[in-house]
Structure 1
Amino acid sequence: MRRSFDQVEGCGVCPSNLPLWQGRPWFTYPAPPGNPGHEGWGTVEATGHGVKGFAEGDRVTFLSSQAYAEYDLVPAEAAVKLPSSLDGKAFPGEPVGCAFNVFRRSQIRTGQTVAVIGAGFLGIIFTALAAALGANVVAITRRRTSLDLAKKYGAAETVELDDHQRIIDRLNKITGGKGCDRVIEATGYQWPLDLAGELVSERGTLVIAGYHQDGPRQVNLQQWNWKGIDVVNAHERDRKVYLEGIREGIRLQNRVCSASMIW
């Protein structure tokens, strides 16, 4: 059996988990044990027959849907070993992989103006990656702490997510009325999706990174058509690509750790 038995150290809480706990009707209850935890990491407790590349005691992050449990049984092909530089540190690999893959599909370029709507875990990673690439990042979110964090990780401008027209006016001022080359919607709600359509420039790209799960959405298709925008639904469903996003995040973390040690 090409599986490892992992002792779970921790699991992130994804916004997509919350409706299950709220009792929303599109789920089946009771949920399976450990469900819907999918941002887990832990230590290999045992390996099945034929498993290579993993040994007892290895720290791993993994793709699973039952990581809200003390132990999880994971296919070897769905686990990624964590380097020693991450010893003792929490590393929810699934959202890290998600963030890197969304960033890749966004095709952000140096010098572009990029609006990130929603500065949670994913939004902050987008902000840091885009800023490091030389994009002019505008972070738009509700919480002051998140605005401060976005600024810390490279946002050139921060805007409070409060009033629809005020935000549009502010972005028009920042972009000289041109709009944003890329708008990343990372909330999963209707209003920010409406706002994203307003902020994206003609021939720009609207990237849907938020997980929209509570029913159909309405979009201003006339506006989208007229602007000639590209729309990217950026959630990755290929496990191999997902895992490569996780590995890319680990590689970057290693470089950051190495640079910190040098300095």
Structure 2
Amino acid sequence: MFAGVIASPGRAVLERVARPDPGPGQVLLRLEGCGVCASSLPLWEGREWFQYPQAAGAPGHEGWGRIAALGQGVEGLNIGDRVAALTYRAHAEYDLAQAQAVVPLPASLDGVPIPGEPLGCALNIFERSGIEAGQTVAIIGIGFLGALLTRLAVQAGARVIAISRRPFALDVARQAGAQHTVLMDDHWRILDEVKRLTGERWCERVIEAVGLQWPLDLAAELTGERGRLVVAGYHQDGLRQVNMQMWNWRGFDVVNAHERDPAQYVAGIRSAVDLMSAGVIDPSLLFTHRFPLDRLGEALDLARQRPDGFLKAVVTT
């Protein structure tokens, strides 16, 4: 099979490698594609703790496709089933998945890219946010994740204030139903705008979906007394400092909405697939760039640069 290999920082190559065979409790997937995740950027950029070349297909974990073979003891799944799955070497034509990490897809979603892991993340973050009808929710960072969370919050009956540095992303948030959009350019101007929109009460829920220090600071300042600050951004570049005096005074709850239990990821994927099938969410327009497998490096570069017009790239096989 062919697989993408990150040979060194900033360099991806296409290699022919042996196709794996499923062991007991596993399935072999013939992948249709895999999303490109921002969490892969430290590996792409080259942090000192990574080793190169990486394993073939790594670190792809957003794959979908059809079951090509079943390992011993697998029940309830069939060869040819179209599925989303949580795997770890999915920048390739084939990858292995544990049977319990596979989510069957309905025929109504045939032809639609289904990168399960980020869709599951969005549902899990939404669940832990505790968003209710009538609340004001600020979402800081409108990429793929922020756009989905905007849609889910609006569907729950909340008023959404979407905040992003890119005018293009604010247009996406409005299409997802955000009632207010604020350009993320000046800290104090944003505070004044949200203060006005909320009648100086600030927000019951704030979701930080960027992963940098300033958005985290801003998120805290926008969270009202006894509200909830939800950290959805993936903070990868070192330590963070917080204004603990203000956090104490406001008395808000802080939720780190990152999951590590694979079963919880899979539960989120199932929920996302159900909502897509019901027409509640439609992420298809959020896949703004598609690349063949031999252009994996270009997809990773775009995820790092995040130019206007970019939300998420997928690599297809």
Q: TM-score range by the shorter chain?
A: over 0.9
- Within-5 A mapping of 1:10-29: 10-29=33-52
Correspondence 1:202 to 2:210: no
Deviations 1:49-102 (A, max 9, x none): 111121111111111121111110111011111110110110111111110011
Deviations 1:192-224 (A, max 9, x none): 001101111111110000111221111111111
Deviations 1:121-154 (A, max 9, x none): 1111110011011100001012222111111111
Deviations 1:30-50 (A, max 9, x none): 222211111111111111111
Q: State the Cα distance separating 1:27 from its structure 2 match.
A: 2.4
| Corresponding residue for residue 255 of structure 2 | 232
Q: Pick the aligned partner of 2:167 from 144, 149, 161.
A: 144
> Aligned to 2:124, what secondary structure does the other structure show?
helix
Q: Pick the aligned partner of 1:74 from 74, 97, 102.
A: 97
| Corresponding residue for residue 2 of structure 1 | 25
Q: Pick the aligned partner of 2:106 from 61, 67, 83.
A: 83
* Structure 1: distance between partners of 2:55 and 2:238: 23
Correspondence 1:125 to 2:148: yes
Correspondence 1:214 to 2:234: no
* Structure 2: distance between partners of 1:62 and 1:224: 38
* Structure 2: distance between partners of 1:186 and 1:21: 21
Query: Which amino acid counterpart does residue 40 of structure 1 have in structure 2?
Result: G
Correspondence 1:40 to 2:40: no
- Where structure 1 has 5 or more consecutive residues not aligned to the other structure, the ranges are 258-263
* Structure 2: distance between partners of 1:184 and 1:111: 16
Deviation larger for 185-194 or 47-56: 47-56
| Corresponding residue for residue 192 of structure 1 | 215
Deviations 1:165-201 (A, max 9, x none): 1111110110111111100000111110011011111
> Aligned to 1:256, what secondary structure does the other structure show?
coil
Q: Quick one: higher RCO (CA 8 Å, sep 6+), 1 or 2?
A: 2
* Structure 2: distance between partners of 1:118 and 1:241: 24
Query: Which amino acid counterpart does residue 247 of structure 1 have in structure 2?
Result: R
Q: Where do 4+ consecutive residues of structure 1 move more than 6 Å?
A: none
* Structure 2: distance between partners of 1:183 and 1:27: 33
| Corresponding residue for residue 261 of structure 1 | none
Query: Which amino acid counterpart does residue 169 of structure 2 have in structure 1?
Result: S
Correspondence 1:250 to 2:270: no
* Structure 2: distance between partners of 1:80 and 1:196: 34
Q: Identity rate of aligned residues, in percent?
A: 58
Deviations 1:3-31 (A, max 9, x none): 11111111111111112111122323322
| Corresponding residue for residue 166 of structure 1 | 189
**TM-score when scaled to structure 2?**
0.79
Structure showing the higher helix proportion among its residues: 1
| Corresponding residue for residue 106 of structure 1 | 129
- Where structure 2 has 5 or more consecutive residues not aligned to the other structure, the ranges are 1-23, 281-317
| Corresponding residue for residue 260 of structure 1 | none
* Structure 2: distance between partners of 1:162 and 1:78: 41
Give the total of aligned pairs: 257
Query: Which amino acid counterpart does residue 42 of structure 2 have in structure 1?
Result: P
Query: Which amino acid counterpart does residue 53 of structure 2 have in structure 1?
Result: P
Q: State the Cα distance separating 1:241 from its structure 2 match.
A: 2.0
> Aligned to 2:181, what secondary structure does the other structure show?
strand
Q: Pick the aligned partner of 1:56 from 71, 79, 89.
A: 79
